Each structure stands twice: as structure tokens, then as C-alpha cells.
Structure 1
Amino acid sequence: MAAISDMTAGAERRKFVRRLFKRKTVVFGVAVLTIFVLLAVFAPLIAPYAPAKLSIVNRLKPPSLIHLFGTDEFGRDVFTRTIYAGRLSLLVGGAVVALAAVIGVTLGLLAGFFKQLDTPIARLIDAMMAFPDILLAIALVAALGPSLTTVIIALSIVYAPRLARIVRASTLVIRELPYVEAARALGVSTLHIMTRHVLRNLLSPILVQGTFLFANAMLAEAGLSFLGLGVSPDIPTWGTMIAAGRQYLDQANWMTLFPGFAIILSVLSLQMVGDGLRDILDPRLRKDL
């Protein structure tokens, strides 16, 4: 029976992957994300120069075979710095999604499953979502001090309520379903019901929302870095590169163009993958495919 169950699960996964990759937008998004991940992982091998290497003689050089994306005001290679900045953006996005999922899913499960906790947690979620995302992130980073860890914590706090709200709404419905009532009647522990019966059925919306939060976190990190509230200026980020390049738009627009293009491509690809996952995993939308 276990072997048959494993074969059925494997067939369902293959069917899901085939349906997902039938969408051209998803294929494009996955391809772009794969390129960004490979560039980030193998940056030390791919990058032709060190990201902090100065060469005043070569400052503000236009794109060429020697410097594919040109050089900045200190003669640093823009292509190299763009690749290394991508590593940071992917790290921040992944860390924010992981931490926000832990906070948001925990709050959502507690609020949705325990009626006595629903009102205080729901009001906390509403209060946090009343603030614009970027303003709340700026306030938290300014209060805690700019650093990579602070940016991750601040953005996780900002985006956790979104996941919490989705998980809470779904948990309110699932906890009243017959199989949950049957598990309670059989004496199954509350923790087991919450993890095995409730959380297991929430993986699809959490996964879809996670892709959107990943994109938003990368965009927010770039915004904070642009404002000077992100990581140290010595570390290349797309936001700091754009902020530095705006002073030279009239004579070296490539300093802003390539980091900006990297942000657009990465965020757009994540949104495409998220849209594809939502259309496949949502039964209401799946009927129209």
C-alpha cells in the first residue's frame, strides 16, 4: 500500500510540474530566476574583478568587452558589483520569507484555531497592516540601526501579517471541517491536528504568497539601500548602486540602468512564478485553465 501511495504521489507531482510549465510566463520566470541564482552562487568564479577593486584611471568607462556593464565613479566594474548585489538580494529575500513564514504562520494558526486568541491577534495584524510597508520598514530599521540583520528582521515583521491573515482565514474554515472534528473525537492532540490536518492543507496558499513576499522583500531591500538605511555602503546592493548612479545619469547612465534592470527582471520573474502557482493550486482558477 505504501508503494502504491508513493507512486500515486509521484504521478501527481509530475502532472503538477507539467501543467505548471505549460505556461510560458512560468517558464520564463523560472529560467530568469535560475540564471540569477547561478550567477549569485558562482559569482567568485564568474565575476572578472573584485567587487571593491578601485581603478580611478578607468572611472566612468562605458560598457565594453573589458567592462561589460561599464565602470562606476571609482572605476569599479559594474557587472561584478551587479552580480554580487544579486547575492545579497536573494539572501535577504529568502531569509525574510523564512522568518516571516515562521511568525505569520504561527500567529495565523493560533488566531484561527483558538477562539480566545482570535480577537487580540487579529487586531494586532490589522494594526500592523494599517501602516504602509516601506514606512514601517524605515521606522524599524531607523530604530534598530542599519545592518543586514536589521533589514531582514524589519522586513520579516512588515510582511508576517500578510501571511498571518491568509493562514488565519483558512484555519477558521478548516477547523470546522468533519475530518478535524473526527480527529478531536478520537482524542488526537491539538498540536497534531494543527500541524498534520490544518497546516498541511495551507501549504499551497503559503507557497504562493511566499513567492510574492520574496519579490516584495527584494524590492524593499533595494528601496532601503537607496535611502541609505540598508546594509553598509561598502557592500554592493542594487539600491546603493542606483543611488550612486543617479548623480551621473547624464554621463554614465549604465550605472543606474543595469542594477535597475536586474531588479525589474528578478521581481518580475518571481511574480510570474507566483501567478502560475496560484492559477494551478487554486481550484477555482484551475477550472478555467
Structure 2
Amino acid sequence: MAAVAASSAGAPASLRAFLQRPAVAIGLVLLIIVVALAVFAPFVTPFSPTKLSIASRLKPPSAEHWFGTDDFGRDIFARTLYAGRLSLTVGASVVLVSGVIGLVLGVAAGYFRRLDPAISRLLDAMMAFPDILLAISLVAALGASVVNVIAALGITYAPRLARIVRASTLVTRELTFIEAAHALGVGTFAILTRHILRSLVSPILVQGTFVFAYAMLAEAGLSFLGVGVSPDVPTWGTMISLGREFMNTAPWLMLFPGIAIVLTVLSLQLVGDGLRDLLDPRLSQNV
């Protein structure tokens, strides 16, 4: 009973210490602000991200248009908020897709010895290619759309999660209580669901925050190169790409979407670092 009480008391203490770290707190606040602005974009700005207004073409930031307008008179603030919706959706979806693929491959490679060589070689081959080149190749093969971008990035980042899952599964598989479960006749499915998967929650959660950030950067890069989603859909990468032509005369076209990308990715990295320190027993003394 004392051990249980100490464990339950230690969790809130660790959580408080997690939130009291300045870098983590700043990252969490930034992330909440970005998500809130994206979700409630229709209530934050009265402008449509796609409505054209030639009379308002290339207006600098003002009280009416906080981030200025582009060469078609579209409000940059509205486009930045709505583009954040797409980027966050893509990032979350990529984490889900890559998490499922990485979990299946990683557990199979780590738990079933006969499958390990083949799966490990496959993961090594996929990780031999730079992420952006592999993503471009997959999008080119599948076609440019939001769904295909999510699928391509999910496949691209799945090996990262699979390698971590495999390593954790290899360690957990050799523990005494797993051997005891085998000796008692516990089935493979029960061992995987009751013991192996539970031990994978922390590493997947931590790595998922970094994959989220990588996916958002990759989506922006694909859109910037013109191989992502349709140019009609506002994305941060597309906005920066279209603003290159007016870099000297209207720098706000590139400035504000760029700031949005930096702040969002930075917030995810800070939160991810904090989660890693909180969930890793070896680093808990430093939290």
C-alpha cells in the first residue's frame, strides 16, 4: 500500500515539475495557442482565406488586415490560420499512420526472431533515403492530394517509430515476467497486449511529438516545391512559395507563414523534450 501511495503521489509531483520547466511551459502555451487559433479560425477572423479582392492587392499589415494581403487581395492572417488547420491535420494523421505501421513492424521484428532480419533490412533500406526525397517519390507515384501526402509521409516516418518499438520490444521480451508468462502457458496475443504494448506507450508518445513536427515541416516543404496538396488549398509551404516573387516588395507574404511554421515546430519540440524527460526513468531525476 505504501508503494502504491508513493507512486500515485510521485506522478502529480513529476507532472508539476514538468509544467514548471520554463521551456516546456512556453512550448505548451505556444502549442495551445496555435491549435486554438487554427480550430477557431472562423471566429477569429472575418475574412475568407480564398476570397479575392483586387482592390486590396498587396496591402501591408494594418488594423484591417493584420498580416497584410497577397497579390490577389486575400487576407494573409486568415490564410495563415486556415493553413494551420491543414498542417495540424496532416501532422496528426501522419503520426497515426506511421504509428500503426511502426508498431506492427517494430513488434513483429522485436518479438518474433525469425521476422527480425527481413524487417530490419527493410527498415534500413527505407531509412537510407533522405526523408524529403522518399516523400517526393511517393507523392509523385500516388498523386498530389492531402490523403496521398499523409500516406507518403506516414510511410516515410514509420521506420523511425519501428526502430524504437523494435528496440523496446527486444528489451521487454527478455524480462523475467515475460519468461514466467511463457512458462505458465500464457498465449502470445495476451503477452503482446498485456505486457509488450504497455511498455511501448512512453517511447511512442515521445517519438510521436517529434514525428508530428517533422511531418509538418515535410508537408510545408512538399507544398513549397509544388508536389504537395493543390495550390488552391492554403498551406504554409504554398504561401511561402507564392511569396518569393514579392520578397523585396511585400516581405510579409513569406514572413508570417514562416513564423507560424517556426513557432509550431518549436513548441512541439519543446513539449517532446519535456515528455521524454518525464517518461524516461533514467532522466526523471532531472525533471
Q: TM-score, normalised by structure 1?
A: 0.96
Q: In 2 relative to 1, CA 76–191 (structure 1 residues): closer, same or farther, beyond 3 Å?
A: same
Q: In 2 relative to 1, CA 195–8 (structure 1 residues): closer, same or farther, beyond 3 Å?
A: farther
The answer for the alignment partner of 2:139 in structure 1 is: 141
Residue correspondence of structure 1 range 109-148 to structure 2 within 5 A = 109-148=107-146
Cα deviation, residue 16, structure 1: 3.0
Cα separation, 2, equivalents of 1:4 and 1:146: 58
SS in 2 for 1:271: helix
Q: Which stretch shifts more, 44-53 or 69-78? A: 44-53
Residue correspondence of structure 1 range 226-241 to structure 2 within 5 A = 226-241=224-239
Q: Match of 2:254, as an amino acid? A: T
RMSD: 1.7
Residue correspondence of structure 1 range 28-107 to structure 2 within 5 A = 28-107=26-105
Q: Match of 2:26, as an amino acid? A: F
Cα separation, 1, equivalents of 2:181 and 2:267: 41
Structure 1 residue 165 and structure 2 residue 172: aligned?
no
Cα separation, 2, equivalents of 1:284 and 1:157: 31
Cα separation, 1, equivalents of 2:82 and 2:262: 16
Structure 1 residue 271 and structure 2 residue 265: aligned?
no
Q: Match of 1:204, as an amino acid? A: S
Cα deviation digits, residues 11-52 of structure 1 (max 9, x gap): 454223212112111101110110111111111111220111
Cα separation, 2, equivalents of 1:53 and 1:119: 54
The answer for the alignment partner of 1:261 in structure 2 is: 259
Q: How many residues align?
A: 287
Q: Which stretch shifts more, 224-233 or 74-83? A: 224-233
Alignment match of 2:172 (pick from 156, 174, 178): 174
The answer for the alignment partner of 1:16 in structure 2 is: 14
Cα deviation, residue 288, structure 1: 3.8
SS in 2 for 1:146: coil
Q: Match of 1:235, as an amino acid? A: V
Cα separation, 1, equivalents of 2:36 and 2:228: 24
Cα separation, 1, equivalents of 2:17 and 2:124: 36
Structure 1 residue 281 and structure 2 residue 279: aligned?
yes
Cα deviation, residue 9, structure 1: 6.9
Q: Match of 2:179, as an amino acid? A: E
Q: Which stretch shifts more, 181-190 or 260-269? A: 181-190
Question: % of aligned pairs identical?
Answer: 64
Unaligned stretches of 5+ residues in structure 2:
none
Cα separation, 2, equivalents of 1:235 and 1:28: 30
Cα deviation, residue 126, structure 1: 0.4
SS in 2 for 1:27: helix
The answer for the alignment partner of 2:198 in structure 1 is: 200
SS in 2 for 1:162: helix
Q: In 2 relative to 1, CA 23–79 (structure 1 residues): closer, same or farther, beyond 3 Å?
A: same
Cα separation, 1, equivalents of 2:196 and 2:49: 47
Cα separation, 2, equivalents of 1:98 and 1:44: 26
Cα separation, 2, equivalents of 1:156 and 1:9: 36
SS in 1 for 2:260: helix
SS in 2 for 1:287: helix
Cα deviation, residue 10, structure 1: 5.5
Cα separation, 2, equivalents of 1:274 and 1:214: 10
Q: In 2 relative to 1, CA 88–174 (structure 1 residues): closer, same or farther, beyond 3 Å?
A: same
Q: Match of 2:218, as an amino acid? A: A
Cα separation, 1, equivalents of 2:278 and 2:2: 25
Cα separation, 1, equivalents of 2:220 and 2:170: 36
Cα deviation, residue 7, structure 1: 7.4
Cα deviation, residue 284, structure 1: 2.1
